[in-house]
Amino acid sequence: MEAQEILQDIVFILLYGGVMGLNVVAALYLLRRRGNAIAPEVKSPVRLRLWAAAFLMACALSHVFWVIYTTHPSQPLYVIVCGLDLLMLFPTIAGLLLSMLQDRRRPVWPMLVALIPAFVILALCIIRGDENLFLPLSLYVIALYASMMLYMYFAVRHYGRWLRDNYADLEHKEVWQSFVILAGFLLFFVMYSSTTESSTLLVYLLQIDCIIIVALLLWRVETLQTLSESTTAEVEGPVADAQRTSVQQAISVDIAPLLKKHCENKHLYLQHDLSLSQLAQAIGTNHYYLSQYFSQQGLTYNTYINGLRIRHFFRQYQKAVADGRTITAQQLSSESGYRSYSTFSAAFKQYTGKTVAAWMRDTGE
């Protein structure tokens, strides 16, 4: 679509302006509002809100820059706008995605370094006036996103293992949805980077894609629970190699009775959002020793707590049946430490290999 055609399309102008305004409003909402509208019970990470707001403002500015280019089209201005897009959007996307992973802080500066070849190509475009250089630029942009997706794949897998090792309840903590967001970004920029002349359908699809990304981003920010505890650090520091064997032998002897006394007998596992660090403090040990204990047992912390909760459900159900009381699985799941029935159902099936309904039917027989 030529610039003159874009300026004559009133519907597209309204859509374009609406998307630009939507980005600004969403950014201001994330910056100004302290609580969450989508999930009021969730406290979202401040760092994630800031990066999300930065990305949304970058999208709004990108829309402004392209309006300027459309009204004054020229090759040098086109190259400058492309450069500004890269400078604003790539780092904010990287910061946004990395801030979803709360096990440790991952730096954004490698993304800035990775942009250097792109800016070299853009500079050559201006100096030589060679439009053929846009093809290698598009290929580099696609390769950059593919590399980011590959990195995020392994980072999210590692993050998932970290969550299971440190938290009993994974609700509002898992971040596989970041792949959906990344796919949206990738779709947007692959379409944008791979074409020099945009069709009418493409420019409309890009705006619709942007609306979906804003909605998905707001949902992700407001439903991701902040994990403020410093569970990644070893409380007493790294143990010397020469002492590691004796320490591991002592762990099994010391930790097991403490868990029995303070966690299992006192039903501490029924507490919502009980973390590994909180449990370690409750039983009088530290995060490192408790983590090592579960590792020796071939368990994750999440598996250990879920096992206790499911067995508690068994006992409560059998007691209700013996007393002749009518009770629902939803009610029992809440009494067994689960905030969400869907979370309970997934944990139950993983533990027993059956759905809750199938197990209750078989038990009744």
18-28 pLDDT, tens per residue?
999 999 999 99
pLDDT at 262: 92
CATH tag, 241-364: 1.10.10.60
Q: Could you tell me how far CA 186 lies from the centroid of its own chain?
A: 16
Mean per-residue pLDDT for 255-260? 91
For the stretch 278-319, pLDDT in tens is: 999 999 988 888 999 999 899 999 999 999 999 999 999 999
Confidence of residue 53 (pLDDT cuts 50, 70, 90): very high
Residue-wise pLDDT for 202-230, tens only, equals: 788 888 988 999 999 999 999 999 986 54
